[in-house]
Amino acid sequence: MIIDNHCHAGLNWFEPIELLEYQMKLNEVTKAVLIQHGGNYDNSYIIQCAEKQPEKFSAVVCVDSNDINSPAILKRLAKNPKVVGVRLRPNERFQHGDPLTLWKVAESEGLIVSCFAINANLCATKEFDGLVRTISDTKIILEHLGGVYISRTPEVTKAPFTAFNNVLELAQYNHTYMKFGGLGEFCDRPETLTADIGFNDVPPLIEMAVHAFGYKRLMWGSDYTPVSQREGYANALNIPLKSFFWCGKSLFKALFLSSKDFDKIICLTDKILSSSKNICSVLHKPIPSAPNSLAVLLSASVSAFVLTFNFLNSSAHFIIVEKYPDISG
């Protein structure tokens, strides 16, 4: 099962749900979390989509922190079983009383907070660190690697990654999680778009996130439809898979966290690739070719998994992994 943990749909901005469904079917994505886009506080469309297909979609809503009625609105929305979270900015504060009211309502109502930062520096402040420590009884997901965008703050994507390292310090709190999308969010698109899809000079941001948060606290989200202006839905899914879950001629397809279950990793095997072409074009350093291998299927009960398994025979193996090792290479 592959779950897209971050996508948009709408009748005003972005595209209607049918186009997202087409991309999901094309790329064998089973479920998706519909994230309300910033500035739109009418959540009716994404909620209706989730209610119409409850096995496929869940909704993360937005409320207006300037509206005195927003806490009551959020409590009402939370009663809908298809509403699994609320989207708040790191510096978003209620304007009519306790500044943390909306964060506390999310906590009391059991809603996930999908935290949208337009700049990684907003997640790297001592103030936000204190907020995360205060709001400790709900899951806080840092969208877009905590606010890393090549188009908005290109300096954050460059060494020594000071702001991003500060964001990663939030991993010390067990209720924080991080979401990543396609490499096009933080990599320059090549000037010449050749037939071989890939990015040059990929900064090691995902590896750094893995080291800080571990696999159990990471998740993938396409950022559809904005991703269509970058590398496209399929590439946003497949390039990270080929980059970071390379297993000889086989690939792991790993989906880290569903919107309702943050304690499981859902992994499945990919098809055995017929091509032996190395995928170094999308990496910041080469990966040597590996012998013929078979991807390993890990059940939902597995606590964590290892990046690469090489097998000399062609039979399937099931492996229970108690701990994940340090990532090296």
Q: In sequence order, what DSSP letters do the residues of 306-318 get, joined into one string? A: -S----SSSS---
Report, as an integer, the average pLDDT of 150-162: 90
Higher-confidence position of 159 and 311 = 159
d(C-alpha 271, C-alpha 253), whole Å: 9
pLDDT at residue 82 greater than cutoff 90: yes
Banded pLDDT at 245 (limits 50, 70, 90): low
The reported pLDDT for the residue numbered 113 is 98
Report, as an integer, the average pLDDT of 120-128: 96
Q: Worst-scoring range by mean pLDDT, 79-83, 270-274, 322-326?
A: 270-274
pLDDT at residue 300 greater than cutoff 90: no
The tokens for 238 are: 């497949």
pLDDT at residue 229 greater than cutoff 60: yes
Whether residue 178 contacts residue 221, with contact meaning beta carbons closer than 8 Å, is answered with no
pLDDT at residue 128 greater than cutoff 50: yes
The reported pLDDT for the residue numbered 273 is 24
d(C-alpha 158, C-alpha 154), whole Å: 7
CATH superfamily label, 3-282: Metal-dependent hydrolases (3.20.20.140)
Buried/exposed 31-45: b ≥16 CB within 10 Å, e otherwise: bbbbbbbeebeebeb
The reported pLDDT for the residue numbered 172 is 98
The reported pLDDT for the residue numbered 244 is 62
- In sequence order, the 6+-apart residues with CB closer than 8 A to the CB of 306 are 321, 324, 325
pLDDT at residue 168 greater than cutoff 70: yes
d(C-alpha 241, C-alpha 234), whole Å: 11
In sequence order, what E strands does 208-325 have? 218-220, 246-247, 250-255, 266-269
pLDDT at residue 31 greater than cutoff 90: yes
The reported pLDDT for the residue numbered 215 is 87
pLDDT at residue 272 greater than cutoff 50: no
- In sequence order, the 6+-apart residues with CB closer than 8 A to the CB of 42 are none
Report, as an integer, the average pLDDT of 63-91: 98
Mean per-residue pLDDT over the chain, rounded = 78
pLDDT at residue 160 greater than cutoff 90: yes
Banded pLDDT at 257 (limits 50, 70, 90): very low
Please, which residues bridge with residue 61 across strands? 86
The reported pLDDT for the residue numbered 193 is 86
Report, as an integer, the average pLDDT of 87-107: 97
Please give the DSSP secondary-structure letter assigned to residue 38: T
Whether residue 146 contacts residue 164, with contact meaning beta carbons closer than 8 Å, is answered with yes
pTM for the model: 0.76
* Residue bearing tokens 């922190």: 65
In sequence order, what E strands does the chain have? 3-7, 31-35, 57-61, 83-88, 112-115, 140-142, 176-180, 218-220, 246-247, 250-255, 266-269
d(C-alpha 60, C-alpha 85), whole Å: 5
Whether residue 73 contacts residue 94, with contact meaning beta carbons closer than 8 Å, is answered with no
Q: How far are the Cα atoms of 67, 134, 178, 285 from residue 116, in angstroms, in the given order?
A: 19, 18, 11, 30
For the chain, report the end-to-end CA distance as a whole number of angstroms. Answer: 26
Q: Worst-scoring range by mean pLDDT, 90-99, 123-132, 219-228, 268-277?
A: 268-277
Identify residue 287 by its one-letter amino acid code.
Answer: I
pLDDT at residue 56 greater than cutoff 70: yes
The tokens for 57 are: 């979609």
Report, as an integer, the average pLDDT of 292-321: 29
